[in-house]
Structure 1
Amino acid sequence: MPSAPQQPDSAQAVLEQSPARPFGTSHKQGAGHFSEWSRATKKEFLIDWQAGRASEWILVQGNEGGDLDSMTSALTWAYHLEHSTENSSQPVKAIALLQTPTDALDLRPENKLALKKSKMTPGHEDLLTMDELPEDPETLSPKLRGIVLVDHAVPLRKWRNARILSIFDHHVDKGAGPNADPRVFEKAASCSSLVARQMLDELEKLDQEYHMPHELLELILRAIAIDSGGLKNDVTTDTDIETAKRVLKRSNWRDSRLKDVMKDLDDELSAAKSHLDHLSVRDLLRRDWKGDLVDTPSPRTPTVSLGFASIPYSLDEQIEKTEFHELFDWFAIHAAWTAAVGVDISVCLNKYKIRDESGKKKKMREIVLVVRDDVRINEDQANSLFRTVKKALEDNKELGLKPWHRANELAPRQMVWTHESGAGRKVIRPIVEEAVMAWD
């Protein structure tokens, strides 16, 4: 077994591993204890659901963006809940739920690579994804023993009837699950650092430690590495560093230096993450999509559906990916996607780099705002909502929004701005949500 991370697979090799599940066929099963546990847990959950025993289960769920941190945190805590209680009088049944469709998992090549390195089954047959959930969350949630939120501060509206047992998040505490235990809100580059720290703290207090598969330990290190830039970026905390040290000591890379391991892991995952040129506009829209229902004070429209996409290409670059290479085609694809997911108002956050007059690369961002009138709101309401959100964004002086160079070609209830503020979804989303919640 190597004492340091293996060389990363080429991006092409990663892409050649198809995620498809043809009818009547099955991929070769993953190797190792971690894959076997995940597959067996998924089978047991589905058997128990069929037998009416959903009340015995805890679902550990990350956010619907489905990045490596969210996925790793969910898998880690589900594994810990089961194994830390297996010899007790009250064993826990827990499973990680990835809140993304199966076919969307590989839209993040870094996830695909990390799962392959962890010897999971190609095609993700040993993972429970949102489209494989056998019952609608609205009806399933009250039947469960409860849910655990990881890398996610508040459950999506469809899980509102579930009991929140624990929360781990490295962002802002929004007050959900006040009685959850553990309830951890702490700044860190990676939520996996918080989950792994709690896991190790509890593991080391057990009379007898359970088996910790090296594949899971390596998955945790990969999640921390990519979120922290190999423990080198400006959001890295002591928690990330100390947790990575503890995990490394238990891994097959224990004889290697932490900084070397984390740099190698960050390099391999970052190389995979940047390989997105093969994705279509629709895939880019759904690759990192987050949304939920938002309450409004309007008695006519008490809720609207709001969605956000984060895309690492400019709108001009995305237009070139369309069949006709035209502006109308991008908005047609966007309309088809938002219709499919039932969204009233959508915000696309694009980021890219350009060269300034001196030849240096400069970071740029775009905001694409679109409001539909065919889901929950009529045309007059849509016009009003569009004006409300547009004004809220333009009035925020810190963003410094400027109309896109083709803004005069946009249709009603469409707007595109450019800005250099560096503000991403964590900044833009609250502005939009507050505007929607105040719209009447």
Structure 2
Amino acid sequence: MRLASYALLALSAATAALSLPSRQHQFPLVLPSPANTIENSRDEAYWASEEGVGHFSQWSKAQKRNFVDDVRDGKASEWILVMGNEGGDLDSMTAALTWSYHLSHQHADTNKTIALLQTPRDALDLRPENKLALRNVLMSPGHRDLLTIDELPLPAEEIAEQLKSIVLVDHPAPLSVWQKAKIRSIFDHHRDRGAAPDAKPRLFEGTASCTTIVARTMLDELERRKEGEYHMPHEVVELILDAIALDSDGLSKGTPADKFTAARLLKRSNWSKQKLYDVMDRLDSEMKKAKKDLEELGVRDLLRRDWKGDLVETPEGRPNVHLGLASIPISLEDQIERTLHNTTQAWFVTEEKWSEEIGADITLALNSFKERDSHNKKIKTREIVLVVRPNDKLTEKDSDELFQIISNAVEQSPFLDAQPWKRAKELTARQMVWTHHIASGGRKLIRPIVEDAVAAWRL
């Protein structure tokens, strides 16, 4: 799947890193050239451009080049792909990159290992915190050293059958396009969904960061190596610390595993002489500041910057449906102000175009923001925006039924206190917006409610 190119983000998140004396930046920001796509990868010029200067970047680019060449030469069966979830947050990206580096160095039979980011390359910078973290560890500013879903030489379904295996990180089960691939390992901090019971290692633990589980396993195996440790570049260590810091609020919300693993990593970093909580608090502040820098993003980019979607299997006789969920840290009213005509339906027009572009049958935008209550106290508010549209797969009757089933599930859920949006009168058929104030009411709560409702769709 190829997505249209996007307007370039403001560079404030990236340039903020220049003020950090402990991180060196030895390259200029070079923007990707539309002509230099993966199709040109047989051309030496493709690989010579947009160099990152760190060891990790150079290794990653070499792995990417070898992988692309091998797949084209019919050697995909020699490769292991490590992949996170399609939302592509810092935790998911870092966990995939970390484990792929470890596997490729740990055993001779796993040296053909590469991380796959299940995000299009032109969407990577829609997460400013990812852009900042990658820049801090000297990766290529144009992301030439990362393998993204739209750069696969063959369709994912086709490659899945050929691969040696895949590893899932920050994701409990493979997306439907990877179902025919052998799952080697799973590392996750979400609910175990029973996928690949024979995978090794298969670790599910309620840590703040999935990267913690990956990094702890990596360190354990690294330190037990009979032949001695392989080279662990400080860039990898510091990228891991960024991810753990952001997910654990600088360890203030970290589990013992997050804290002990961060302490082990700190000893291997360029900040080894500094205090753990001072470092993690600083990294958390840096990442959060960058993460909030979304002023330049329009509605389409807000929808796709943290998008997760896949097919939901329905009872026999019903079409399987593609359910997509976007997590957006901005209120619907503020998003409406970013549309051309500043109207509610202008927002839904943009949402419709995005849904059609990626083939989503049901879309939910899960918005979260802070507003002041009647006592002028800031409270966290959440919104659930539901859209179901008829298409070549779903009839008008199908769409009406699904919309009603999901609406009932949301409104009757004992875990939510969903109330109609104050501007609900502006909505049209098969559109609904609810508000609620459940602190844990993000995608992890809403997705199972909706998926279970859709899966139970009866004749």
Verify the 8 A CA contact 1:342 1:375 in the aligned structure 2.
no
Q: Distance in 2 between matches of 1:335 and 1:366?
A: 18
Question: How high is the sequence identity, in percent, across the aligned residues?
Answer: 56
Superimposed CA distance per residue, residues 184-228 of structure 1 (whole angstroms, 9 cap, x where no aligned partner): 001100011000000010001112110000001000000000000
Q: Which runs of 5+ in 2 are unaligned?
A: 1-10, 18-27, 37-44
Deviation at 1:23, TM superposition (A): 1.9
- Which residue, out of 64, 74, 78, partners 1:52? 74
* Equivalent residue number for residue 42 of structure 2: none
1:64 to 86, 111, 116: 86
Task: State the partner residue of 2:365.
Answer: 348
Is residue 2:250 matched to residue 1:248? no
Per the TM alignment, residue 171 of structure 1 is displaced from its structure 2 partner at its CA by: 1.0
1:83 to 105, 109, 125: 105
CA apart distance, 1:10: 4.3
C-alpha distance in structure 2 between counterparts of 1:311 and 1:212, whole Å: 35
TM-score of the pair, normalised by structure 1: 0.94
1:28 paired with 2:46, answer: no
Offset at 1:300?
Answer: 3.6
1:219: which partner in 2? 239
Deviation at 1:135, TM superposition (A): 1.0
In the alignment, structure 1 residue 191 sits paired with structure 2 residue 210:
yes
Q: Which residue of 2 aligns with 1:379?
A: 396
- 1:108 is aligned to 2:108: no
Alignment map for 1:265-414 (pairs within 5 Å) = 265-301=283-319, 303-414=320-431
C-alpha deviation, 1:18, in angstroms: 6.4
Matched with 2:20 is: none
- Superposed CA deviations along residues 84-126 of structure 1, whole A, max 9, x for unmatched, are 114xxx3531000000000111000000000000100111000
Q: 1:176 to 1:19 in 2, by over 3 A?
A: farther
Q: Is structure 2 residue 136 aligned with structure 1 residue 136?
A: no
Counterpart Cα distance in 1 of 2:359 and 2:29: 31
TM-score scaled by structure 2? 0.90
Q: Residues of 2 paired with 1:197 and 1:102: CA distance? A: 29
Residue 400 of structure 1 contacts residue 420 of structure 1 at CA under 8 Å; is this kept in 2? yes
Contact 1:386 1:413 in 2 (8 A): yes
Residue 33 of structure 1 deviates from its aligned partner by: 1.0
The one of 10, 13, 38 equivalent to 1:11 is: 13
Q: 1:398 to 1:140 in 2, by over 3 A?
A: same
Q: Can you list the C-alpha shifts for 1:243-279, whole angstroms capped at 9, x where unaligned?
A: 0011111111111110111011001111000110110
Distance 1:18 1:285 in 2: 26
Residue in 1 aligned with 2:117? 98
Query: Residue 193 of structure 1 aligns to which amino acid in structure 2?
Result: T
CA deviation after TM superposition for structure 1 residue 372, in Å? 1.2
1:365 to partner: Cα distance: 0.6
AA aligned to 2:277 is: K
Instruction: Give the number of aligned pairs.
Output: 426
Distance 2:400 2:429 in 1: 8
RMSD: 1.5
Which runs of no fewer than 5 residues in structure 1 stay unpaired? 1-8
The answer to whether the Cα contact below 8 Å between 2:370 and 2:378 also exists between their aligned partners in 1 is: yes
- The aligned counterpart of 1:179 is 198
Residue number in structure 2 paired with 1:121? 140
Q: Contact 1:14–1:112 at 8 Å: present in 2 too?
A: no
Structure 1 letter corresponding to 2:87:
G
The farther-off stretch of 40-49 and 9-18 is 9-18
